[in-house]
Amino acid sequence: MKNRKPIYFLIFVLLVLALILAGIILAVDRKKLKVIFFDVGQGDAILISQGKNQLLIDGGKSEQVLLEKIGRYVPFWDRKIETVLITHPDFDHIGGLPAIFRAYQVDSVIQTGAQSDSKTFGVLEDLIKQENSVQIEGTVGVEIKWPQEAQLKIIFPFESVSGSIKDTNGASLTTKLTFGQNSFLLTGDLPSEKELEILNSNVDIEADVLKVAHHGSKYSSSEEFLQKVQPQISIISVGKNSYGHPSQEILERLSRLGSEIWRTDQVGDVIFECPDPNQDCQRLKSVLN
C-alpha cells in the first residue's frame, strides 16, 4: 500500500498538467481563425471557423464531396454550423448544401431574395424552413462578428434583391473578412459591371487574399477592380469545365500585379491559418484529393 501512494500522486500530477495543457490549447484554438477554400471541382465552397463557430459560404455541386470536406475540418462531435451564407442560387454554389441541413444543425442562413426554378433550390428552401434557421437578408450593412475579433461584412448588393432574376451572378453576395491586419475579399460570381458599381461606391476592397470571381471568368476581375484590391494571394476555385475557366487573360492580369495564384484544381484545398489578429495568416499545405 505504501508503494502505491507515490504512484497515485504521480497520476494526479499528470492529470493536472494535462488539464492545464488542454486549457491552454483550447484558449489558443478559440482565437485562431481558419479560412479554407474547398476543392469542390467547378464550384465554390468556403469554410471560415474560429473556435466552435463556423460559417460556410456556398457548397459546391456535390453533397457527398461537401460532407467529406466538412468532416475533414470540423470535429466529428460538433454537429452545428452556425451560419450558412449563400452568395447566389446557381447549382455550382448550392448543390451540396442540402446535405448540410440534413446532417447538421444550422442556426442561421444569409442570402438575397434571388430565386431559382431549379429542383435543388426548391429542396434547399424546404430544408431551411424545416430547420427553422433564422433567415437574414443579405445586403450591405449585414455583419457577422466572431468572439475573437474576426468580422465579415457584406459589401454588395447595395439594395434588396428578390424573385427570379435573369442574371443571378449579378446579385452575388460579396463579402470582406477582416481579422486584425489580415483581410479576405470573397466575391462569389460577381461580374465586371457590378465590380464597377462597387468601385464607384468607394467602399474599401483592398485585401490580402482575393477569392477570384466566377472561377476566373474573363467577364469578371476587371483591371480596375484588381488594381483596387491589390491582392497578395489570389484563390481560383475551379475544376474541369467547358467554359475556359480560368481565363488566360485573368491569369495574366493577376500575374502582372505580382499576386500569387492558387488554383484548387491544382493544389486541392487552400487553407489559411491566422493564429492572432496581429500576425500574418499562414497558408498551410493541403493534400490533393
In a domain, 138, yes or no: yes
Question: Could you tell me which residue, 16 or 228, shows the higher pLDDT?
Answer: 228
DSSP 170: G
Q: Residue 23 above 50 pLDDT? A: no
Q: Are 256 and 206 in contact (CB under 8 A)?
A: no
Q: Are residues 44 and 158 in the same domain?
A: yes
Q: Are residues 16 and 79 in the same domain?
A: no
- Which 3 state secondary structure label does DSSP give 71? helix
Q: Averaged over 20-44, what is the pLDDT?
A: 74
State how far the Cα of 216 lies from the Cα of 175, in Å rounded to an integer: 17
Sign of the Cα pseudo-torsion (136, 179, 159, 85, in order) = negative
State how far the Cα of 229 lies from the Cα of 226, in Å rounded to an integer: 5
Domain span holding position 12: 1-31
pLDDT for res 287:
58
Task: Summarize pLDDT for 99-109 with one digit per residue, the tens.
Answer: 999 999 999 99
The mean of the pLDDT values for the chain is 91
Task: Summarize pLDDT for 128-165 with one digit per residue, the tens.
Answer: 999 999 999 999 999 999 988 899 999 999 998 887 77
Q: Are residues 3 and 64 in the same domain?
A: no
Q: Averaged over 76-95, what is the pLDDT?
A: 97
Q: Are residues 70 and 91 in the same domain?
A: yes
In a domain, 203, yes or no: yes
Q: Are residues 128 and 266 in the same domain?
A: yes
Task: Summarize pLDDT for 173-185 with one digit per residue, the tens.
Answer: 999 999 999 999 9
pLDDT for res 162:
82
Q: What is the CA radius of gyration of the chain?
A: 21
In a domain, 215, yes or no: yes
Q: Are residues 27 and 67 in the same domain?
A: no
pLDDT for res 27:
43
In a domain, 117, yes or no: yes
State how far the Cα of 92 lies from the Cα of 40, in Å rounded to an integer: 9
Burial of 252 (0-12, 13-18, 19+ CB in 10 A): exposed
pLDDT for res 225:
98
Q: Are residues 75 and 215 in the same domain?
A: yes
Q: Are 184 and 190 in contact (CB under 8 A)?
A: no
In a domain, 56, yes or no: yes
Q: Are residues 94 and 57 in the same domain?
A: yes
- CATH classification of the domain holding 189: 3.60.15.10
Q: Averaged over 99-124, what is the pLDDT?
A: 96
In a domain, 43, yes or no: yes
State how far the Cα of 91 lies from the Cα of 94, in Å rounded to an integer: 5
In a domain, 289, yes or no: no
Residue (of 29, 123, 107, 104) closest to 66 by Cα position: 104
| Cell numbers given for 37 | 477554400
Q: Are residues 17 and 159 in the same domain?
A: no
Q: Residue 250 above 80 pLDDT? A: yes
In a domain, 55, yes or no: yes
Q: Residue 19 above 50 pLDDT? A: no
| Cell numbers given for 215 | 472561377
Q: Are residues 127 and 23 in the same domain?
A: no
Q: Residue 6 above 80 pLDDT? A: no
Q: Are residues 115 and 24 in the same domain?
A: no
Alpha carbons within 13 A on the beta-carbon side of 112: 30
Q: Residue 235 above 70 pLDDT? A: yes
Tell me how many domains the chain contains.
Answer: 2
Question: Structure pTM?
Answer: 0.89
Q: Are residues 12 and 58 in the same domain?
A: no
Please tell me the total number of residues recorded for the chain in this structure.
289
